[in-house]
Amino acid sequence: MRLRKDNAALQPPMGWNSWDCFAAGVTEKQLLDNAAGLAQLKSCGWEYVVCDIQWSEPLAASEKNQGVVYRKFAPLTLDAWGRQIPAPNRFPSSADGKGFAPIADKVHAMGLKFGIHIMRGIPRQAVHERLPIFGTNATADEAARPDSICCWNGDMYGVDPASAAGQAYYDSIFQLYADWGVDFVKVDDICHEHLYVDDPYGAAEVEMIRRAIDKVGRPMCLSLSPGPAVIEKAWHLEHYANMWRITDDFWDDWKLLLDMFDRCELWQGHGKPGCWPDCDMLPLGKIGTGFGQPRKTNFTHAEQRTLMTLWCIFRSPLIMGGDLTQLDDWTRSLLTNEKILAAQQTGREPEQMERDEKHAVWTSLTQEGGRYLALFNLDNKTQTVSVSLSDLEFAVHSAEDLWGDTPATLSGSCIQAELPAHGAGMYLLQK
Amino acid sequence: MRLRKDNAALQPPMGWNSWDCFAAGVTEKQLLDNAAGLAQLKSCGWEYVVCDIQWSEPLAASEKNQGVVYRKFAPLTLDAWGRQIPAPNRFPSSADGKGFAPIADKVHAMGLKFGIHIMRGIPRQAVHERLPIFGTNATADEAARPDSICCWNGDMYGVDPASAAGQAYYDSIFQLYADWGVDFVKVDDICHEHLYVDDPYGAAEVEMIRRAIDKVGRPMCLSLSPGPAVIEKAWHLEHYANMWRITDDFWDDWKLLLDMFDRCELWQGHGKPGCWPDCDMLPLGKIGTGFGQPRKTNFTHAEQRTLMTLWCIFRSPLIMGGDLTQLDDWTRSLLTNEKILAAQQTGREPEQMERDEKHAVWTSLTQEGGRYLALFNLDNKTQTVSVSLSDLEFAVHSAEDLWGDTPATLSGSCIQAELPAHGAGMYLLQK
Amino acid sequence: MRLRKDNAALQPPMGWNSWDCFAAGVTEKQLLDNAAGLAQLKSCGWEYVVCDIQWSEPLAASEKNQGVVYRKFAPLTLDAWGRQIPAPNRFPSSADGKGFAPIADKVHAMGLKFGIHIMRGIPRQAVHERLPIFGTNATADEAARPDSICCWNGDMYGVDPASAAGQAYYDSIFQLYADWGVDFVKVDDICHEHLYVDDPYGAAEVEMIRRAIDKVGRPMCLSLSPGPAVIEKAWHLEHYANMWRITDDFWDDWKLLLDMFDRCELWQGHGKPGCWPDCDMLPLGKIGTGFGQPRKTNFTHAEQRTLMTLWCIFRSPLIMGGDLTQLDDWTRSLLTNEKILAAQQTGREPEQMERDEKHAVWTSLTQEGGRYLALFNLDNKTQTVSVSLSDLEFAVHSAEDLWGDTPATLSGSCIQAELPAHGAGMYLLQK
Amino acid sequence: MRLRKDNAALQPPMGWNSWDCFAAGVTEKQLLDNAAGLAQLKSCGWEYVVCDIQWSEPLAASEKNQGVVYRKFAPLTLDAWGRQIPAPNRFPSSADGKGFAPIADKVHAMGLKFGIHIMRGIPRQAVHERLPIFGTNATADEAARPDSICCWNGDMYGVDPASAAGQAYYDSIFQLYADWGVDFVKVDDICHEHLYVDDPYGAAEVEMIRRAIDKVGRPMCLSLSPGPAVIEKAWHLEHYANMWRITDDFWDDWKLLLDMFDRCELWQGHGKPGCWPDCDMLPLGKIGTGFGQPRKTNFTHAEQRTLMTLWCIFRSPLIMGGDLTQLDDWTRSLLTNEKILAAQQTGREPEQMERDEKHAVWTSLTQEGGRYLALFNLDNKTQTVSVSLSDLEFAVHSAEDLWGDTPATLSGSCIQAELPAHGAGMYLLQK
């Protein structure tokens, strides 16, 4: 049953996340500097500032250490009730029990919203120390499942849905997040086709989390990771979450971008107000200051156009990954093309018209009765991509070039554009 | 891309099919007698009369012969172009090349529509005899794929989507069906998760068939079997077909009915005008005159209520399987409850509210802003099924009992009804 | 590469194990009483006394507690180096750091050998307390893998084969076992087709354990559980282990016994000196004093004959599960038929001759050039099981009835016996 | 049950097969010319001359025609009983009903043995023409299964094991082959992990074929293809066949050769007199006259050594694929190194000692109590491969270099050799 959801994410969210730049080691300063960068894009709809994984680990690295991201059995910063709190060496304003509240306040003061990442579950450290659960007589071990772990990070045990202690624990952390002023929670290790032998998707924990959020009463956008989500659970995701990853981590590699056409094909028709299949963050501009070698994105300009065009016509959330303090003009132009972003915010019924190894075509409806049309050149060389519009049952008389430099020509019921290798064009069709 | 579809099946189809009574051996008389029976139910929305499998096989049995339904390598009745035509010994009016036209005419004269079953593919017999394909210089062997067969019926080879001869063959048979006056085509062996190693769903043949129908220009409802369809191809089914089976053959067995709750859970949200996930035929009343022992349905009255309630709130097509010439009052009451049928024809956004091993609850919206609510007792004994309506965000003040003998009581935000083992209640909620 | 193995288990082991009677909660007295029982059967080859799981858990139950066998995050009895030692409340002689040595001594004094059960891995308790590893500067957390757990028991983390600390830990426990005088180690959670997503069989830990045993230099039979082992790793099992389960836990249920014919079919040809596919323990006589309701085995007499016949002709290890302090005459007769046991100890090249749903036939060679023949009635009623011996290329002139009351008759190249439902006959064929 | 097998293939077979050179289109002349070539190698053990697929197809090509090897629904040359006979345009001596007898006679006169390839099943052409089955009143359609086909060749239907006609058909063709003087039959489309949904291995047809061969009474080596065979059916293969492919088609590509180490690891321990896991043909020397571009093998000299060393120590059958009429000195040296071939003909208990991504080591026992040792460099550059021999429990005092130019040095219990990229050394160890 669709729970309250409090009207969160009625349109696909737009924001920034710390992972692509700073991996597990982002600091308060980096977070706030990027928030300031996002504030400058606010008029285009950019809104959420999200602090990604391991903010309670004092020694978490923004760079891989001997090939691993996470320290084995690393001590986390916990409060007396086993709840993770920001490591004060990395987030100085969190000292004295203030948690993320000071940072959230500053983000709100910029007119933005604040989000955090958490791992599904309860800290193993709290479990083996048998810490009390806030507001109960239970201890953390009662809430935990010894057999429910994450395969790639050893911090947590899964929470037992059969235990009252489990729901109480989730209630206690979401109350804390609400007290801090959190608007967005990215829950990780909960949504992946291969992670759990018995349950590829953590349905029971998703339901506990949804209940905890609805009890708290503060609107919080619930985002699930890591993906790919399983299509068999689309109905459940739509009932309980606001966005969910349809892909594993996305990086600046053409193979991954090409693969996203498969995933968008699969998930078309599942986006609707409050519910957004998520293509993952945008590795654009300067990335990898921390994770991988610092670099400008490996995507070509044409590929970046393809990325933005696909995310927007499909209506994926847009969560920028690049460093907003070092934004170049080209990247800024991608993030501020309001005609393109309008398709993401307001388009209806996006649908793949055709696709083969060489090209793809997507379309959606505008609010005013027009059509968006996206043409993609998936080939490794420049080609003219052409499509018959007769199936649209819509007499096209004009095709506005929304990117501005890839014009299309209409002839009969056909539209065509010359597109560079891996490039895209996007058009607004009118009668 | 969504092809024309000609506005077929804007509401979930209702009709009768010969399989549950007559298996592979239905005759012209049986077909027309049942059409006459359906005509009497027409005011409730019942419309399609469908002749199921093997109408071109002169010796096809309505009973299993030594454990098999289909004769191995049975000679079929073909025209000069390798197209199956009705076996004249079973369908006398088809003689002299008239095909199904005389029967279609009679069905149309009753105010009903006429449908037929076909197997995906081209007759092996036509292939090995190298018969010509209508309107071409090609022969049947050019259209066929030697490696594409059905696992449970040996009549056909799959059609090669890479061959022009293949599309020409499909065009030729759908032109013939249009000439006969066919309104509904059930294509079998095309939609099943386990049938084909490389392609669990015959996407390429579905596309050829869609094109053939759209070329012909006669509205024909395209129904795909045998099921279960694969959810990964939901988008494709929605683009190309009007209904598709979400289950293997359904019979009068509680286990299969219970299992349908899984399938409806999975496919909720996928029904829309022109596109209907299909729970298969209704094995109600007198069935198995041919297939299996002749019997009254093995379902209890309570189970029959559950069946009708689930099919209707989910908005499955309703295709009656029982013999309409022997309709008893109870069964007639199930097929003519217009308040229940209204949910199937006009409900919106059906959704499973909750389900566990003991009970299930579904809801949908009425056209007028009310709510349909279906309560199911999945347990083996009478129990009170109760549900909180607070999540509906809809202040319920009355609950009309649509079946008329399973009243519900409202108290606070809760509604409850005492239901027999395996039974159901259905209610219209108003503010 | 086949490691030393020290000539352990040159013939398939015979013994007793505490699990079927006492589950996780066996005590010193129960163990020694059963050892005394086994000593009385020693002349027939019975030899190993094995203490099963959770001997370090002071509160481990011999009965399921609220549906679970194992207490969640239960504190274990560990020495200063994180090694499990017997809980002294259950094994009083182990006090003062003596461990299992006093019990092993008593068992040896009876002319028997002593075995223990362990779980793959290192105690989570030692890891989170960062206990030192014996003889090293490393701590337990360095040896552990946070992502390697058992699905059904939460005591341990898997050991990291890439860490020197891991091998040191295994070395340290096997040295302890050798010091105690252990002759047999049943390693659990290491050999099962479904347990681990990435590694259905814990090859790396098996290799670490083999190395630890060979370093220690005391012959110890290495037995792997829980099973079913994967046939793709047969070669590895044969190199590193002495016996491995080819089945999940076996209990007194005909379905499980029937299923064992599948598994023996699959694993035929893989038994050889030092290497024995293992059909699991014999739930005969009085079982379940602890696990499940105490009961006499649910197997009929005929089924018990089938069990013993199959295990013996296949050459499975024979590990009695029933309570040896309450041995009735019938059960004793099964365990002391030396002609039957000779097939298990000395038969060669056991092979399934034929099998269908109604019957099975196995044969093997005697040391002296004769043949063992086992006839099985898998049907639910008495029937005559008959087999042609012409394929044996062995002119049979006599068939000794080894059970003594199911005679077979020879006629031409055919042999036949009337066998009760689910029953078996076993014969020694001579020229 | 192991059937007669008539002592065929007591040692792993050695011979030549037409596929690698001539694909589906070999001619009588090509066959006999290569037989003459093989006769010159006879003293080294080379024996079988095998005519591969589609000898009954008059127009079968030795080159791919528009990307396909096999013509769709091609008419085959059949006798009056639906049995394939050689196409006389390709095999002139077969005219007048003589079949392969004249060729077999010539091959026998060279002191060699003669083999043919067949597809599992009965020709579809015979089935649809309802041809009689030799010696029965049945027709071909009665023997065939409409649902049993090959995925890559459309000639045949599978044979129904439940029909007497089916066994009669197989009896009739093996009698014909015996009459011709056939010594070896390679049965294709019968042994592959992915070919059949319900039955990955055609056990029932293998049994019918075994029975047919044993009835005929002429020793014929039964070879099964295409592979990879499934390890779960190892026991069945060992009972019924003489050799079976453990790989799909093998060609001159390092990836395939590297992959063979996986397969040999899996199948070690399964070779024994009459039963040989088969690594497929040797694509050495001049190949692809027909299939693919004619070429000298793409393998480097080092890779060819690795191939021969692995096949020989593992004891795979050796079936040369290259053109024996164009044998160069290097290739001849590989086929005539009698010390290496002795390992294949007489080695015992071959076993993989160790393997990782960089190297592999195999060993086996000689008849005289020595050891064979094979060292493999799997890396892309020259390296020294070293192995400790302590686990051999065999005091090595000399290591004869069997290839003659890759000497090894002994020091302590260690042996090592410098080997080129992808190369191998093979040694005879003596005390």
pLDDT in tens, B47-59: 999 999 999 999 9
Chain A residues within 8 A of C149 when measuring between CB atoms: 146-147, 149
Q: Got the DSSP string for A248-261?
A: S---S-HHHHHHHH
Q: Could you give the angle at the alpha carbon of B273 between the alpha carbons of B272 and B278, nearest 5°?
A: 60
Give all strands of the β-sheet with C414-419 in edge-to-edge order.
C383-388, C414-419, C408-411
Q: Which of D416, D419, D359 is nearest to D383 (CA)?
A: D419
CA distances from A353 to A431, B223, D134 (A): 19, 22, 57
Looking at CA atoms only, how far is residue D237 from chain C in angstroms? 12
B279: Cβ contacts below 8 Å, ≥ 6 apart? B246, B247, B250, B260, B263, B264, B310, B311, B314, B316, B317
Looking at CA atoms only, how far is residue B124 from chain D in angstroms? 9
Chains D and C touch (3+ CB pairs under 8 A): yes
Backbone torsions φ then ψ of B208, nearest 5 degrees:
-60, -40
Looking at CA atoms only, how far is residue B154 from chain D in angstroms? 5
Q: Does A352 touch chain B (CB under 8 A)?
A: yes
Across the interface, which of C1, C268, C351 has its CB nearest the CB of D353?
C1
What is the rounded CA–CA span in Å between residue A50 and residue A116?
5
Q: What is the 3-state secondary structure (H, E, C) of C187-239?
A: EEEEECCCCCCCCCECHHHHHHHHHHHHHHCCCCEEEEEECCCCHHHHHHHHH
Strands C371-377 and C359-365: antiparallel
Going along chain D from its start, the domains and CATH numbers come out as 5-346 (3.20.20.70), 352-430 (2.60.40.1180)
Backbone torsions φ then ψ of C331, nearest 5 degrees:
-65, -40
Q: Does D3 touch chain C (CB under 8 A)?
A: yes
Chain B residues within 8 A of D141 when measuring between CB atoms: 72-73
Contact B1 A391 (CB under 8 A): yes
Neighbours of A18 (CB within 10 A): 26
Chain D residues within 8 A of B194 when measuring between CB atoms: 197
Closest alpha carbon within chain B to D148: B151
From the DSSP assignment, how many helices (H) and strands (E) are in chain A?
12, 21
Identify the helix (H) or strand (E) that includes residue D103.
Answer: helix D101-109
Q: Please name the chains neighbouring B, where neighbouring means 3+ C-beta pairs under 8 angstroms.
A: A, D
Chain C residues within 8 A of D3 when measuring between CB atoms: 391
Would you give the end-to-end CA distance of chain B in angstroms?
Answer: 41
For residues B160-170, give the mean pLDDT: 95
Closest alpha carbon within chain A to C148: A151
pLDDT of chain D, 431 residues: tens digit per residue: 455 566 799 999 999 999 999 999 999 999 999 999 999 999 999 999 999 999 999 998 766 655 567 999 999 999 999 999 999 999 999 999 999 999 999 999 999 999 999 999 999 999 999 999 999 999 999 999 999 999 889 999 999 999 999 999 999 999 999 999 999 999 999 988 655 555 667 889 999 999 999 999 899 999 999 999 999 999 999 999 999 999 999 999 999 999 999 999 999 999 999 999 999 999 999 998 766 788 999 999 999 999 999 999 999 999 999 999 999 999 999 999 999 999 999 999 999 999 999 999 999 999 998 999 999 999 999 999 999 888 777 888 899 999 999 999 998 889 999 999 999 999 999 98
- pLDDT class for B1, splitting at 50, 70, 90? very low
Chain D residues within 8 A of C391 when measuring between CB atoms: 1-4
Assessment of whether the complete model's pTM goes beyond 0.80: yes
Tell me: cis bond preceding D226? Omega within 30 of 0 counts.
yes
- ipTM metric: 0.91
Q: Please name the chains neighbouring C, where neighbouring means 3+ C-beta pairs under 8 angstroms.
A: A, D
Looking at CA atoms only, how far is residue C120 from chain A in angstroms? 15
Chain C residues within 8 A of A72 when measuring between CB atoms: 141, 144, 146
Chain A residues within 8 A of B351 when measuring between CB atoms: 1-2, 239
Contact C144 A197 (CB under 8 A): no
Contact A73 C128 (CB under 8 A): yes
pLDDT of chain A, 431 residues: tens digit per residue: 455 566 799 999 999 999 999 999 999 999 999 999 999 999 999 999 999 999 999 998 766 655 567 999 999 999 999 999 999 999 999 999 999 999 999 999 999 999 999 999 999 999 999 999 999 999 999 999 999 999 889 999 999 999 999 999 999 999 999 999 999 999 999 988 655 555 667 889 999 999 999 999 899 999 999 999 999 999 999 999 999 999 999 999 999 999 999 999 999 999 999 999 999 999 999 998 766 788 999 999 999 999 999 999 999 999 999 999 999 999 999 999 999 999 999 999 999 999 999 999 999 999 999 999 999 999 999 999 999 887 777 888 999 999 999 999 998 889 999 999 999 999 999 98
Contact B4 A354 (CB under 8 A): no
For residues C202-219, give the mean pLDDT: 92
Q: Does A4 touch chain B (CB under 8 A)?
A: yes
Mean pLDDT, rounded, of chain B = 93
What is the rounded CA–CA span in Å between residue D189 and residue C50?
49
Q: Does D353 touch chain C (CB under 8 A)?
A: yes
Backbone torsions φ then ψ of B81, nearest 5 degrees:
-105, 25
Tell me the two tokens of residue A139.
């201890």
Contact D149 B150 (CB under 8 A): no
Contact D235 C353 (CB under 8 A): no
Tell me: cis bond preceding A13? Omega within 30 of 0 counts.
no
Q: Got the DSSP string for B173-225?
A: HHHHHHHHT--EEEEEEEE-TTT-SS-SB-HHHHHHHHHHHHHH-S--EEEEE
Q: Does B72 touch chain D (CB under 8 A)?
A: yes
User: Which tens digit of pLDDT belongs to each residue from D243-268?
Assistant: 999 999 999 999 999 999 999 999 99
Q: Does B268 touch chain A (CB under 8 A)?
A: yes
User: Which tens digit of pLDDT belongs to each residue from D150-195?
Assistant: 988 999 999 999 999 999 999 999 999 999 999 999 999 998 865 5
Strands D318-320 and D14-17: parallel
Q: Does C144 touch chain A (CB under 8 A)?
A: yes
Chain D residues within 8 A of B125 when measuring between CB atoms: 128
Contact C354 D1 (CB under 8 A): yes
Interface test with A, best of B207, B231, B263 (most A CBs within 10 A): B231
Q: Does D154 touch chain B (CB under 8 A)?
A: yes
pLDDT above 70: residue B193 = no
What is the rounded CA–CA span in Å between residue C258 and residue C377?
11
Across the interface, which of D231, D239, D269 has its CB nearest the CB of C232?
D231
Q: For chain B, how many residues are written?
A: 431
Looking at CA atoms only, how far is residue C64 from chain A in angstroms? 18
Contact B154 D141 (CB under 8 A): no
Backbone torsions φ then ψ of C114, nearest 5 degrees:
-120, 135
Neighbours of A50 (CB within 10 A): 26
Chain C residues within 8 A of A125 when measuring between CB atoms: 128
CA distances from B417 to B365, B376, B410 (A): 20, 10, 9
User: Which tens digit of pLDDT belongs to each residue from A284-341?
Assistant: 999 987 667 889 999 999 999 999 999 999 999 999 999 999 999 999 999 999 999 9
Q: Does B194 touch chain D (CB under 8 A)?
A: yes
Looking at CA atoms only, how far is residue D351 from chain C in angstroms? 7
Chains A and D touch (3+ CB pairs under 8 A): no
Q: For chain D, how many residues are written?
A: 431
Looking at CA atoms only, how far is residue B209 from chain D in angstroms? 23
Across the interface, which of A4, A269, A354 has its CB nearest the CB of B235?
A269
Q: Does C266 touch chain D (CB under 8 A)?
A: yes
Contact D125 B128 (CB under 8 A): yes
Closest alpha carbon within chain B to A207: B354
Q: Which of B251, B395, B224 is nearest to B317 (CA)?
A: B224
Looking at CA atoms only, how far is residue A74 from chain C in angstroms? 10
Across the interface, which of D128, D147, D150 has its CB nearest the CB of B128?
D128
Give the position of tokens 């095998």: D50
H-helix segments, D241-380: 254-267, 301-314, 329-335, 338-346
Q: Which of A288, A265, A287, A267 is nearest to A278 (CA)?
A: A267
If DSSP codes are grouped into helix, strand and coil, which group holds residue A425? strand
What is the rounded CA–CA span in Å between residue A26 and residue A10?
29
Q: Got the DSSP string for D392-431?
A: G-S---EEEESSSSS-EEEETTEEEEEE-TT-EEEEEEE-
What is the rounded CA–CA span in Å between residue B32 and residue B16?
11
Chain C residues within 8 A of A152 when measuring between CB atoms: 147
Q: Are C53 and C154 in contact (CB under 8 A)?
A: no
Looking at CA atoms only, how far is residue D98 from chain B in angstroms? 28
Closest alpha carbon within chain C to A141: C73
For chain B, helix, strand, coil in percent to 5 are 30, 25, 45
Across the interface, which of B238, B239, B268 has its CB nearest the CB of A235?
B268
Partners of B387 in beta bridges: B415
The fraction of chain B above a pLDDT of 90, given in percent, is: 86
